[in-house]
Amino acid sequence: MSPIHADVLARRDQLARDFRDAQPFRHVAIDGFLDPAFCRALLDEFPRFEDRYALNETGAVGGKAVRMDVREISDTYRALDRSIQAPEFLDLVSRITGIPDLLYDPDYIGGGTHENVQGQGLDPHVDFNYHPGTRWHRRLNLIVYLNPEWDESWGGALELQSDPWSEGANRRRRIAPLFNRCVIFETTETSWHGFPRIELPAERRELTRKSFAIYLYTRERPPAQTAAPHATIYVPDTRPEDIVPGTCLGEAQVAELDRRYAQLRGQLRFLYDREQDFTRQIESLERALADARAAARAPLQGYCVQTRAPEGLWPDGWASSRLSIAFEPSQKVRGIEFDLWIPERLGGDQVLEIAVASTRERVTIAPGRRQRVQLALACAAGTAVELAIQASRSWTPSASGDSADERPLAFKLIAARLQH
């Protein structure tokens, strides 16, 4: 039996309209999302705050604990997990959001139970955009709040923002984290969200901000919404509103400025360390790529040794507008032949200028054609030979929208054979 309240199912068309028309970006807030008794059980079985689940990006213990091992928490959370992955639930969320073929994440990367304590806030940010394991596109955040008591003066309200980089033009919507309220919002490069620092009254400091979050994915995404992979991107706080020219700073204001500067310095240090790590990874990949290129060989059959890596040839057989292969036959050679294929999208006949040793040949091949080219070649064993093919045209698939491949492709070298 689904824990989703029947009223939500009855209102799904209206909720879809609310989601579509919402500002500053598409979202919907749904009160009474779960069956009340089920939601109360989630709160009663909510895991206690533990330091080991509260490590931030820098590895220090922070004020937010996250439990992604949802199925290990309790029977009620296992029942919730079963419901989330059911086709009926995913179809309901698709119906509300207009995003088909949604995928559940069994690992709850970044999701699960979230608990934030006194003094914790969350700077405006956009989330990581690809699942780190499957490379699926992240499309939706779905959060169910579990706070029977919450006053807006305590902070902690979800803030949706249009552009926190532009304070004057930034549009905001605040949504209080009230018990059994579900918020669904799209995950894009402009879906900025966070919440202001929690400031509880002294007599209520035992309270925490509790929620349960899932992130939903798809295998594909509209090209206009697709961006290069990135981690979560934060925008730090601006100057506190109560500090204006002429203000005499009090102890609390100085403490707040110290907190913001410390947070900003921590973020900068994290980014600096991450950039160094990225640099080391790039250098390692460049060395590996250089080694792979040095070891690469063209698909040349016959008694010969290729004396260097081919130039202008990729491992899948595609060649750029200039291909060069150097080899040394170990037996006398009387000829060479190639099997070539010209891509259909080239836009015109491909003219290939082929030079090997003292032999020169011009070959014209129509787009979409596969052709065998044979050349006479007379050279003795041990002779250094260079084969060069210059193409008149190339085609870049990404430029024509056929794929994300950014290589300039001229032809495909299917095979090459020496004749002895």
Please say whether the beta carbons of 7 and 35 come within 8 A: no
Q: Are 177 and 218 part of one and the same domain?
A: yes
State yes or no: pLDDT of 215 exceeds 80: yes
Determine, yes or no, domain membership for 288: no
> What long-range pairs does 147-150 form, CB within 8 A, spacing at least 24?
147/177, 147/178, 147/179, 147/207, 147/209, 147/210, 147/211, 148/43, 148/179, 149/204, 149/207, 150/176, 150/177, 150/178, 150/179, 150/209
d(CA 139, CA 220): 10
The mean per-residue pLDDT over the stretch 14-42 comes to 97
Determine, yes or no, domain membership for 289: no
pLDDT of 271 reads 87
Q: Give the pLDDT confidence of 78-88 residue by residue, as tens digits.
A: 999 999 999 99
pLDDT of 52 reads 93
The share of the chain scoring above pLDDT 70, in percent, equals 100
What tokens were used for 32? 């009474």
Determine, yes or no, domain membership for 286: no
Determine, yes or no, domain membership for 98: yes
pLDDT-wise least confident of 40-44, 216-220, 394-398: 394-398
The mean per-residue pLDDT over the stretch 177-182 comes to 98
Q: How many domains does the chain have?
A: 2
Q: Give the pLDDT confidence of 247-272 residue by residue, as tens digits.
A: 899 998 888 888 888 888 888 888 89
The secondary element (H helix, E strand) that includes residue 339 is: strand 333-341
Instruction: Find the angle CA(328)-CA(330)-CA(334) to the nearest 5 degrees.
Output: 85
pLDDT of 96 reads 98
Q: Are 205 and 353 part of one and the same domain?
A: no
Q: Are 76 and 198 part of one and the same domain?
A: yes
Q: What is the mean pLDDT of the chain?
A: 93
Q: Are 197 and 335 part of one and the same domain?
A: no
State yes or no: pLDDT of 45 exceeds 90: yes
pLDDT of 240 reads 81
Q: Are 312 and 163 part of one and the same domain?
A: no
pLDDT of 8 reads 96
Determine, yes or no, domain membership for 281: no
pLDDT-wise least confident of 44-58, 139-153, 164-178, 281-295: 281-295
Determine, yes or no, domain membership for 394: yes
More confident call, 330 vs 267: 330
State yes or no: pLDDT of 186 exceeds 90: yes
The secondary element (H helix, E strand) that includes residue 257 is: helix 251-295
pLDDT of 172 reads 93
- CATH number (domain holding residue 375): 2.60.120
Q: Are 269 and 354 part of one and the same domain?
A: no
Cis peptide before 100 (omega within 30 of 0): no
pLDDT of 65 reads 96
Please say whether the beta carbons of 155 and 113 come within 8 A: no
d(CA 121, CA 111): 17
pLDDT of 86 reads 96
More confident call, 240 vs 379: 379
Residue carrying structure tokens 């100085």: 254
More confident call, 167 vs 171: 171
What band does 217 get if pLDDT is binned at 50, 70 and 90? Answer: very high
**DSSP 8-state assignment for residue 207:** -
pLDDT of 242 reads 84
* Interacting residues of 243 by C-beta distance below 8 A, sequence separation 6+: 249, 253, 257
The mean per-residue pLDDT over the stretch 316-326 comes to 94
Q: Are 96 and 154 part of one and the same domain?
A: yes
Q: Are 219 and 81 part of one and the same domain?
A: yes
State yes or no: pLDDT of 332 exceeds 80: yes
Please say whether the beta carbons of 382 and 304 come within 8 A: no
State yes or no: pLDDT of 294 exceeds 80: no
pLDDT of 347 reads 85
Determine, yes or no, domain membership for 350: yes
**DSSP 8-state assignment for residue 107:** T
Per DSSP, helices labelled H in 22-167 are 36-44, 75-84, 87-97
For residue 361, give its domain range: 300-419
Q: Are 268 and 366 part of one and the same domain?
A: no
* Interacting residues of 226 by C-beta distance below 8 A, sequence separation 6+: 137
- CATH number (domain holding residue 108): 2.60.120.620
**DSSP 8-state assignment for residue 381:** T
pLDDT of 404 reads 85
Instruction: Find the angle CA(12)-CA(13)-CA(17) to the nearest 5 degrees.
Output: 115
Q: Are 11 and 157 part of one and the same domain?
A: yes
Q: Are 366 and 270 part of one and the same domain?
A: no
The mean per-residue pLDDT over the stretch 11-38 comes to 97
pLDDT of 103 reads 97
What band does 296 get if pLDDT is binned at 50, 70 and 90? Answer: confident
Residue 14 has, within 13 A of its CA and on its CB side, a CA count of 7
3-state secondary structure of 354: strand
Answer yes or no: pTM beyond 0.85. no
The share of the chain scoring above pLDDT 90, in percent, equals 79
Q: Are 85 and 188 part of one and the same domain?
A: yes
pLDDT of 57 reads 72
What band does 102 get if pLDDT is binned at 50, 70 and 90? Answer: very high
Determine, yes or no, domain membership for 154: yes
pLDDT of 207 reads 96
d(CA 103, CA 106): 9
More confident call, 203 vs 402: 203
pLDDT of 241 reads 80
What tokens were used for 132? 């780190």
